[in-house]
Every structure is written in structure tokens, then in C-alpha cells.
Amino acid sequence: MNANYVALNADIHKNKKIKEITNFEHAKNFHIASITMDEFGMASTSYPIVFLRNEDKSVSAATILGLEPEQNLFIDDAGKWTVSYIPSIVRRYPFSLVRTSPDSEEMALCVNDDKSLINDKFGIDLFKSDGSPSAQVLKVQQFLAHIHNMQYRSKDFFQLLDNIGLFSEKALEFQQDGEAKSIGGFMVIDYEKLRSLSDEDFIKLRKVDSGLECIHIHLGSLNQMQNLVRLNTIKKAK
């Protein structure tokens, strides 16, 4: 279970409240944020979307938020997010679904147990007086369940992309202050590989709901690198 996260428990948290999150300071050092298929459309309006090879060899998708490690160009000095779409992994804080053990499929609704968030007096109730989850907690459960389900669906689609050989490792190149720079460690869908797909593999993609749409959104989103360069230039000029 993640550090600082504890399972919500009526015996422990029945009379506890949680302060409302009013800024995104918790994400100020996120230079990438993982996303699921259903987020591609909105995410592409502001961020480049790339793919990552995980330690277990699976593939996930992520938005690039900064050009340097621990740099988030989309949070201002007041902790406000500066564009309209905020990745769900950022919005879910301070809640998360966490496996009850590394080998278990059972998930527990957990909360960051930081004392600056959980207290006895201020904020939103976590439980009702009868020990049942509050309306806010039920809303969070529904939101996290949606994310969890989309993560599984997305994982299957990304695995298909990997199995048919569409990924290429690529350093994303950009110009900063007249100097050529690049950031690597990512994968993108190779357009030439996509064009040369066999009919059999192309049909596999067509059968995935929104699959082809996600591919084209991803490819188009790479143009957002220039948006990051612009934001980085503004940040450095301050």
C-alpha cells in the first residue's frame, strides 16, 4: 500500500472530516501524468500524449507536463491548474484505489492520512453518523471505479498496439532559446508502421471501440510539444 495512504475504515474515520482540495500543489513536481483511453481527446488539447514501457513490460499512456524532471508547466505559483483539462490521476487526490496486497485483486478505497487533510473539525464528512459512507465518499468511489475500469480497458488496447508492433522509441525534439534539445524515454506510434499494417492487424484495431480515434489523437497531440516550449519560455522569463 502506498506510503501515507490508509484504507478508509468506519471504525477509524467515522467522526473524521477531510479538507477540500483547493489547489494542485500535490502535483507541482509531476512532469508526466498517466491517462486512460477516454482521456485522450480532452488531454490532447493541451498536452503531448506518449507511451511508456513499465517495469513489468506492459505499456501505459501519459501526458507530458514538463520539459525537465519534476517540472509541471501547467500549475501556476498559486497552485492553480492553468488549462481546462486536468488528468484524472491528478483530480482523484487525496483518494486512491490500492491493492490490499501485492498479489491480491481486491482493491481498497484509501485516503492520504496527512494530518493537514484529515481532522475532527473542518471539511467534508467521510462517514455518516450510522457508519455508512458519506455522499462525497460514494461519489469518489464511483469516480475511482471508472478510472480503474478504464485502466484495464486501456491496458488491453495498449498491449494490442505493442503486439502488432506499432511502437517506436523516440526522443521528442524541440527548440529552446535557439538551441536544439530533446527529451527521451518515451514511445510513440510509428506512422509508417501504421500505414503498412496487414489487413488482419488493421481489423483488430477497428474492433476496439475508439481505438483508431485514439491513435490519430495521439499522433496529433505530439504537436503540443511547441506549447510546452512556449510555457517553458514564459516560466524562465519570470
Kind plus residue range of the DSSP H or E element containing 52: strand 49-53
Range of the domain at 169: 5-237
Q: What is the pTM of this model?
A: 0.92
Kindly give the confidence (pLDDT) of every residue in the chain, 238 residues in length, as a single tens digit, with 9 standing for 90 and above.
Answer: 455 889 999 999 999 999 999 999 999 999 999 999 999 999 999 999 999 999 999 999 999 999 999 999 999 999 999 999 999 999 999 999 988 877 878 889 999 988 889 999 999 999 999 999 999 999 999 999 999 999 999 999 999 999 999 999 988 887 777 888 888 899 999 999 999 999 999 999 999 999 999 999 999 999 999 999 999 999 888 7
Cis ω for the linkage preceding 133 (within 30 of 0) = no
Q: Of 138, 132, 134, 137, which is closest to residue 10 (Cα–Cα)?
A: 132
Rounded to whole angstroms, the Cα distance separating 71 from 186 reads 17
Q: Is 68 helix (H, G, I), strand (E, B) or coil?
A: coil
- The tally of domains found in the chain comes to 1
